[in-house]
Every structure is written in C-alpha cells, then in structure tokens.
A and B are shown apart, each in its own frame.
Chain A
Amino acid sequence: MPDPANKSEILGALKSAMPFQMVPDNLMQEIAAICTQESYESGAKVYDLGAIADDVFIVFSGSVEHILSAETEASEHKKIMRSGDVFGWAAVLDGQNVRMASTLSIEPTQVLRINGKKLIKLFESDPAVGDVVMTRFATLINKEFYVPRSIADQVPGFKQALNASNLQGSEVTTMALTVYRISTWLKSPRPYLMLIGFALFLGFWMLSVEIWKLPRFVDMPGPTEVFTEWFSEDPYYGLSIYTPEYYKHIGISLQRIAFAFFLATGLGVPLGLFLGWSKNFREYIFPLFEVFRPIPVLAWVPLAIIMFSGSETPVIFLTFLASFFATTLNTMLGVESIDESYSRAARCLGASRWQTFVHVVIPGAMPYIFTGLQISIGVAWFSLVAGEMVSGQYGLGYVINTAYMMIEYPKIIIGMITLGVVGYITSAMVRMMGDYLMQWRVRELALGDN
C-alpha cells in the first residue's frame, strides 16, 4: 500500500500519464490506491520478453529502455521511456498473458506499477471512463510504440456496458474531451476576465448614458432601453425578438449575403486558381484585375444603380464585388504559397499538368482559400450593410438607416448587435466548413510538430 504522504505525488504521476489524463478525481483516487512503487538500479532488468504480463508501468523518475520483439511487427523496436511515460501495457490487452518486450533500466529509476486486472475491474464501475482510457491506451500503443492496430486494438472494450446504443467509442471520447476542455477553461482565469471586460464595457455605456447623463451621450439610447426593447413582447418601436419582422429583416440580409457570397466564391475560386497556376493567364488578366481592385466597392453604388434596374440587384452586385475581389486574390496567393516540392513530386511521379492541378494545387491551396473565404464573408457583410443603407428595402442595414431617420434610436443598436451576432455566426460557419473539408489539417495541427 502506498505511503499516504506520497499520495499526491502518485496522483500527479497518474495525471501526467497519457491514458489517465481524463479520469475524474474519485476514480483516480481508487487507481492510486491500487498502485505500488518500485525502484530499479541502473542496468537492472525490469522484465523479460515472455514473462507474465501483470502490471502496467508508469515511469516516475529516471529512464528505461524498452525493446519490442520482432513478432509485434512494430516499425520501430527500441524506445526510451522517461518520466510520465507508460509501458508494460501488455497487462491490459485481452488474451495477452506474456510480455511482448523486454525492459531495462538505464539509470536509477522509480516506477509506479498498476495491476492490469485490478485496473480493468475498477473501470467496470464507470464504463464510460473505462472506454476512454482504453481507447487512449490503444492510441498510445499504436502511435507511440508504432505497433500495428491489430495488436493495439486488443484493449478491452466497455462498449456493451454503455447503455445508449448509438454511443460509439469515438463519440464518447469527443464528448468527454469537450467536457474536459470546457472544465479546464472554466478553471482558468479566462472566462472571468472576459466577463470583467464585458461588464466594464456595458457598465461604461450604462453609466455614461443613464446615470451620469454625460452631455455627449444625451441622445444615445442606454443599455436598459435597448435590451428591454429588444426582448419585449410588445416593443415600442416595433422590433424585437418577438416580432416576425425582425426575422424577416435578418432573413433577407442573409439571403442576399448567401447569394452574393456563393456567386463570388464560384467565380472567384476558379479564377484565383488559374491566376495562380498559369503564368500566361496571370500576365494577361492580373493587371486588369489590379486596376479594378483599388476602387472601393461602395464607389460603385451610383454606377450599379444606373446599370441594374430595381433596388435589389445593385445591392447584391456590390456585395458580390467585394467578396469576389477578396476571394480571387486570396486564392491566387494561396496557390503561389504552395511549396514547390509538392508539384515537383507530382510531376516526378508521372502526373500530367492537369492532374497536378487537381491533386496538388487545389488541395494545397485550400487552407488559404478558406482564410480568404472568411475575409470574403466579412467584406460581404460590410458591403451589404452599406448597400442596404443606401438602396434596397428590408435588411439589417435598412433597419439601421431608417431607424436613424425616424429617430427610433434603440432600434439602431438592436440592428448593430444583431449584425454582429449574425456576422460572427456566418464567419464561424465558413471556418467550420473549412475544418470539415480539411480533416488532414485539423489532425496535423492537433498533434503539433512531429
């Protein structure tokens, strides 16, 4: 039994070991209770190949050399384990009674030993956590020991013990991971600082308008006025979250943005790709593009009104224009930023120019394209609001402008806040779409440099 004075050290060592990082405190205490400690001198054998696999080991201090047998078909056999590293995991593999490696300590070392069978039994009381831990063991075995998944996946599953029939192991892990991340975030100072920031801002607003009634702020609506209006069922100026008109304006703005954005993306991305890929094309077309680009989109307003009949088309045209320039430029820069080695490798491997374009240029430019799309949707909102303020009917820009003209000031603020929220959501959607399409990037970034 471990000495109570060392308990916190044991808990610390457990928490630093990868498979146990997400175990809740109560279970962690129980695991700590079944741990034993052991010391090895430099050069001492920890265990031999073929010995009984009873315990899982966590290195507390010092280091050991771990050599896998050839039968495991691991791509690399030797590994040095240091503080926090886990080995001896054969003890938790189903149907594996003997050691698959030999381990030798290479300096004075202290380890924690956890009996495999006892550990598994502990998890039977909390199969959700057990599943997460075992999945992490499997990942550890496959990724850090380079052992094929056929062996790594022999960790016991707790899936039958989980009641919900459609909870796959990976879903539990993702959910558990999210819960873990949120709980860590809550424990850090960050959310509280954020609230302080908001409080300061709102406080200043309220003080200056409502309480101190500073001269400059006389005509401004204060936060109470705005928020009561926004959330009231029968708003004084006719616009709140309860009025259908509110959603009509949001919907119309969104419609316009969607149409302009998709059109701009559909035209801008291919144009940008070709501009980046073909030197000839770029030499002809890019200067023409660059002549138009410095002209602020809003300078087009009168011309747009002249060219296009009606009040709807000019607004969409302006929004489209802004998005289009941003998307095309960023896509082109993206293509130019792709490391030359990739297209060279493709050509070496026998790909034609077109195949290189499809398999290297397009996927390689994707991260830059999506950054460009996030910028693009930002400028789209920018132009849309301007367009709606000047021409067009309905829409959030229109709301703000008419509210100003009709001296319904709280509506202005409501409009602004709504714009902020909707703008943020659309931008986040673009980002999420990018993450979804570029799984490889998400995984690569998550694992850090390798």
Chain B
Amino acid sequence: MSLSKFSDKLFSKAALRGIFAIFVFVVLWEVGARSEEWFGYRFPFIGLVPPPSDVFVSWGGLIANPSYWQSWYMSFLRVFGGFTAAMIIGIPMGLLMAVNKASYGIIFPSFEVLRPIPPLAWVPASIIFWPTQELSIAFVTFLGAFYTIVINVLGGANSINKQFLQAAQSMGASQWDIFRRIVLPATLPSIVVGSAVGMGITWEVVVAAEMISGGGSSGGGAGGGLGFFIWSSYVGGSYEQIIVGMISIGIAGYISSELLRQLGGFLTPWLKTR
C-alpha cells in the first residue's frame, strides 16, 4: 500500500472514530483509577485498578528488562509448539475421518465424548502423566487446538461440492489424485479458519497453564512465560505489571493470528478473488 493510501486509511473517518472511542476509554480509566487520589472517593471496581499512566511507566521500565522478553519467548514457543503438534496430528486425523467412513465411525464418537472436557481440566492428569512440567503444559496446549482443528477439517471436507468429485472421477482421476488435488485444497480454507480460532484457544490455554502450574499448587520453578509473569506480578504486588502483562499477551495473540492469516492467504490465493 502506498504511503498516501496508508495515511488515508489511518486518518479515515472510521479509524478516527475508533481511536476516539479508545481514547475516551483510557481517559475514563485514568479518572476512575485515580479517583481516590483526586476525589477522596474511590469508585467501585475501577478505583482499585492501576491507572494507565502508571502502567505506561512500568512498561517503559520493563522493555529494558531481558526477563520480560524472555517471557514473551517462552510463551511464543509453547504456543507454536503446541499448535504445530495439534496441526500435525489433527489435520491428518481429520482428513482420515473425512475420507474413510469406518475410521470416522470408530474415532469420532470417542472424540466427541472427550471434547466437552475443558483442556484445563486435563492439567492435573497431565502433570501426573508427563515427566516434565513443560511436557504437561504442551500436552494441554495441544489438546486445546486439536479439537478445533479436527472439527474444522471435517467440516471443510464434508462441504466439498460433490460435483467436484464427480467431475474428477469422470475425468479418470485415481483415489489418490482426488485426495491430493481436490480434497486437500478444498479443505484448506477450513483449516485456515480453524487455525485462526485454534490459535486463540491455544493462547488461552498457554496463559492459563502458565498461571496454574507456575503460580499454583505445584510450587514455583516453572518455565516462565507471560502467564507466569502476570501471576508473579500479582503475587509480588506490582499491579501495574499485571496490566502490562495482559496487554502484552493481547499483542502477542494478535501477532500470531496475523501471521496465520497471512500464511493462510498465501496458501489459498483463490479466496482473495471474491
């Protein structure tokens, strides 16, 4: 996008309105958070929250601190690790179930029975089972994304227009050909969408797992990460850092989703022509 177009977009009416609303929000937050100082009366809820100005200052200090970036790195590692594992196992399994009725009949009911169990409920079982804490977090992360990806692959495969398959068959394609050239590309959009949703869930699980196993019952010494950062900020009483952590995770989550979206756009160029 050319520079003039970018600045057009940035200062377009829509963007300005959005920025305005966010600005109003930040102002209200500042006023509410400082209510005790300024008015002698503390607003409920908001009055207890650190004000944005303090958060900003704290963040400035943290940027110079390497352990802050270490937390970023750890969380990203876990997210992409678990996510990739979920894709590696989930996509083939989904495709298998889509093309082979027998495997669908065997696997899917058990899959559906286990699905409502929230991934976090698996944490204690996972800790008992896996030798290291890292693996137990990775397992739970994997579970989170796994379900979403499989369901999306199945959905995508099921909605393949039958006529594509018939057209291929009438042109003499073999089963493998059909799989490679029709089923696989046709399910890609669903996989891409499923990944985007799965990514969001993965972040949730990673953060939760970092908070629970790092700051919870099993005692300290966990491998850090942004979730752990938030929890230990809370325990240590530096409340501004909690909010820095929250915003950081938000940004990190957004970056990962964007990356996925770009990758998805690269893999499915035909969708762009709509």
Contacts and interface: CB of A to CB of B under 8 A. Distances in A.
Contact of A401 (B21, B48, B217): B217
A447 interface: no
Main secondary structure of the interface of A (DSSP, over half): helix
23 contacts: A194-B106, A198-B109, A198-B113, A200-B106, A200-B110, A216-B129, A280-B17, A286-B18, A287-B22, A291-B22, A292-B250, A294-B200, A295-B249, A296-B203, A296-B249, A298-B204, A299-B245, A302-B230, A302-B239, A303-B49, A416-B117, A419-B116, A421-B116
A381 to B, nearest CB: 5
Nearest to B116: A423
B150 interface: no
Contact of B208 (A201, A298, A302, A416): A298
Contact of A194 (B109, B121, B130): B109
B69 interface: no
Contacts of B21: 284-285, 287-288
Most chain B CB atoms below 10 A, which of A216, A284, A285, A413 = A284
B125 A416 contact: yes
A237 to B, nearest CB: 14
B233 A302 contact: yes
Interface in A126-151: none
A299 B249 CA distance: 8
Interface of B: 13-14, 17-22, 25, 45-46, 48-49, 102, 104-110, 113-125, 127-131, 200, 203-204, 207-208, 211-212, 216-217, 226-227, 230-231, 233-234, 239, 242-243, 245-247, 249-251, 253-254, 257
Contacts of B25: 288
Contacts of B114: 420
A382 B120 contact: yes
A427 B116 contact: yes
A209 to B, nearest CB: 10
Contacts of A288: 18, 21-22, 25
B128 A299 contact: no
Contacts of B231: 301-302
A283 B14 contact: yes
B123 A389 contact: yes
B265 to A, nearest CB: 19
A271 interface: no
Nearest to A413: B125
Interface of A: 189-190, 192-194, 196-198, 200-201, 216-217, 219-220, 280, 283-288, 291-292, 294-303, 305-308, 378, 381-382, 385-386, 389-390, 396-397, 400-401, 403-405, 409, 412-413, 415-417, 419-424, 427
A302 B231 CA distance: 7
A287 B207 contact: no
A110 to B, nearest CB: 30
A60 B234 CA distance: 78
Given A198-B110, A385-B121, A424-B116, A303 B250 contact: no
Nearest to A426: B116
A310 to B, nearest CB: 13
A220 B121 contact: no
Contact of A284 (B20, B216, B226): B20
B117 A419 contact: yes
Main secondary structure of the interface of B (DSSP, over half): helix
A197 B243 contact: no
Nearest to A190: B105
Most chain B CB atoms below 10 A, which of A201, A386, A427 = A386
Contacts of B102: 189, 193
Most chain A CB atoms below 10 A, which of B14, B116, B121 = B121
Contact of B216 (A197, A291, A307, A389): A389
Nearest to A309: B48
Most chain A CB atoms below 10 A, which of B13, B116, B204, B245 = B116
Closest 8 CB pairs of A and B: A193-B105, A287-B18, A423-B116, A404-B124, A302-B234, A194-B109, A294-B253, A197-B106
Given A382-B120, A401-B124, A420-B117, A306 B239 contact: yes
Nearest to A384: B118
Contacts of A308: 45
A400 B124 contact: yes
Nearest to A295: B250
B118 A423 contact: yes
Nearest to A424: B116
Given A287-B18, A302-B242, A424-B113, 16 more contacts: A193-B104, A193-B106, A198-B113, A217-B129, A294-B250, A296-B207, A297-B204, A299-B250, A385-B118, A389-B216, A390-B211, A400-B121, A413-B125, A416-B121, A419-B118, A423-B117
A295 B226 CA distance: 12
B239 A381 contact: no
Contacts of A292: 250
A356 to B, nearest CB: 23
Nearest to A303: B242
Contacts of B121: 385, 396-397, 400, 415-416, 419
Contact of B207 (A298, A381, A405, A415): A298
A280 B226 CA distance: 36
B258 to A, nearest CB: 10
A386 B125 contact: no
B106 A306 contact: no
A320 to B, nearest CB: 14
Contacts of A301: 211, 230-231
A193 B103 CA distance: 8
